[in-house]
A and B are shown apart, each in its own frame.
Chain A
Amino acid sequence: MALYFTKEHEWVKLEGSQATVGISDHAAHELGDITFVELPQIGKTVKQFDTLAGIESVKAASDIYSPVSGKVAEVNATLEDTPEVVNESAEDAGWICKLDGVNSAELANLMDAAAYAEFLKGLE
């Protein structure tokens, strides 16, 4: 399944009704060395584009917004001790959490990889 992106640089990958969420390679690069990922509480319910988690780097402290609505089913606990995994592999091993009960119709509000690449060009 392909990745979809938000304008706030989160990505989501949907498998059935479960979504895996993270921040984009571009965001991880822009943030610089990531020092802490504030993972969401398991069981927390979020709406699309609500604050989901937090991330801190040597440069900034930022919110991570949820690309889709759902309920937090799992968090990437390896980030608690090794947040640098987000720098190394933002769009794969550096995933933040998994959401259950996701409606695929919400993907229509997001960008696919090609559109996101275009969007990034516009930011340069």
Chain B
Amino acid sequence: MGYCANTPEEIREMLAVIGAGSVEELFAPIPAELRAKSFDLPAGISEFELMQVMRGKAAAGGADVVPFIGGGIYDHIIPAAVDHLSGRAEFYTAYTPYQPECSQGTLQALFEYQTAICRLTGMEASNASLYDGGTAVAEAALMAMRITGRSKVVLDASVNPLHREVLSGYLARLAEVPQVAPKGCDSDLTRLMASIDGDTAAVIVQNPNFFGSVADLAALAAKAHELGALLIVSLYPIAAGLVKSPGEMGADIVIGDGQSLGNPVSFGGPYFGFITTRKRFIRNLPGRIVGETVDKNGKRGYVLTLQAREQHIKRQKATSNICSNQGLCALRGLIFLSALGKDGFAELASLNHDKAEYAKSLLAKIKGVSVVNAGATFNEFTVSLPGNAAQVVEKLLASGVAAGVPAGGYYPGMENALVVTVTEKRTKAEIDRLATLLEDALCN
């Protein structure tokens, strides 16, 4: 973000227009307990000095740690083109535009984003993005309830725990949400199928799941459809370069967090969510949709389409109250995908898988460590340690390596399980170091 200083004169002018006496008065309506006590920043230093201060804070906060952490947000390469193009003034806004006459560039970019996300998920229709992966799960569940007129949602407990929490918040008073515990680290497809009945709007799974296990969901899709329910699949988009797409497996709604596509890891965002579906469900999609059309001279152009679904026309009967979205983050996703191309994207996915397999084989050799996933994994897998995983992670942090996500914080009884992620950015030397450090930590 640019460093914009305001002169005291400018601040006075702005306050005068607003009618506030001081900056303090401007923020006074925010309750004191919700306001930052201190930003812990020195007052009045130069841009250069400020950068030094901030770099120091970033380093102290762990920015230099080698991450093997995933759990929904992933450390991937970001081609320079992503920052450069998304930073252009013509694009630099988070909002989808209503006025096609002055927004053709942004609308075209979002139209292409929708095309890319449809191809990635193997589906027919996408909206122009959602807030994040968690709200995408919730919007998909609400959409399935609208389509089926039913109010029971079967949830695989190996869906990201944070996303499940968002879903519970949304559905608390709207639906019954039975959860099906995983078998070890794998989604229990047999019990998921048995939990679907004639009142079920949808069954929600994640592929790969929170523990990294990949599953073939075709039989689950068939069972859901037999009972008039929909299959919702949460997808880690990078995995789509290698794993069969949810569309091919019969999913009706595919959602996920788009962060891994060109958006840097940061403390909670901003990221973006995506949602795609079958053409016949397009009117039940939440949020904005960009469509292609022709102008009065027959030239190709882009507009926001199917707006009658939205709240400014349909009021309380709108499909969703999503209004602004994550246009800028979605644009980064599109530029990322375009820069890699179809072959590059597949190669990226293979690299993730191969490096993770290498790490898996190294860690499995350590005494007392075993891989818990029964079947295939992508770039994330779960190991069982001979002791408490959270304590081991703490130990390794001191050596500059974040070994993974301890599962016990989300799954009581799994305190010894560690979810390890290996993206294309991890070098052989870093993976070797993880194995050595882990072995040392467990022996001592």
Report which A residues bind B (CB closer than 8 A): 35-36, 38, 41, 44, 54, 56, 60-61, 63
Contacts and interface: CB of A to CB of B under 8 A. Distances in A.
Interface of B: 149, 283, 308, 313-314, 317
B41 to A, nearest CB: 50
A61 B149 contact: no
Given A38-B283, A61-B314, A56 B149 contact: no
Contacts of B283: 36, 38
5 contacts: A44-B149, A54-B317, A60-B313, A61-B314, A63-B317
Contacts of B317: 54, 61, 63
A44 B313 CA distance: 26
Contacts of A38: 283
A39 to B, nearest CB: 11
Given A36-B283, A56-B308, A61-B308, A41 B149 contact: yes
Contacts of A63: 317
Contacts of A60: 308, 313
Nearest to A43: B149
A101 B173 CA distance: 33
A31 to B, nearest CB: 11
Given A60-B313, A61-B313, A61-B314, A36 B149 contact: no
Nearest to B149: A41
Contacts of B313: 60-61
A38 B283 CA distance: 9
A63 B313 CA distance: 12
Contacts of A56: 308
A63 B149 CA distance: 17
A36 B283 CA distance: 9
A98 B346 CA distance: 52
B285 to A, nearest CB: 13
A41 B314 CA distance: 20
A44 B149 CA distance: 10
Contacts of B314: 61
Residue from A41, A44, A56, A63 with most neighbouring chain B CB atoms (10 Å)? A56
B75 to A, nearest CB: 43
A115 B254 CA distance: 52
A41 B149 CA distance: 9
Nearest to B310: A61
A35 B282 CA distance: 14
Nearest to A61: B308
Given A61-B313, A61-B314, 13 more contacts: A35-B308, A36-B283, A36-B308, A38-B283, A41-B149, A44-B149, A54-B317, A56-B308, A60-B308, A60-B313, A61-B308, A61-B317, A63-B317
B43 to A, nearest CB: 54
Residue from B283, B308, B313 with most neighbouring chain A CB atoms (10 Å)? B308
Nearest to B283: A36
A36 B314 CA distance: 14
A41 B308 CA distance: 20
Nearest to B318: A61
A56 B314 CA distance: 10
Nearest 10 interchain pairs by C-beta: A61-B308, A56-B308, A61-B314, A61-B313, A41-B149, A36-B283, A36-B308, A38-B283, A60-B313, A35-B308
Contacts of A54: 317
A63 to B, nearest CB: 8
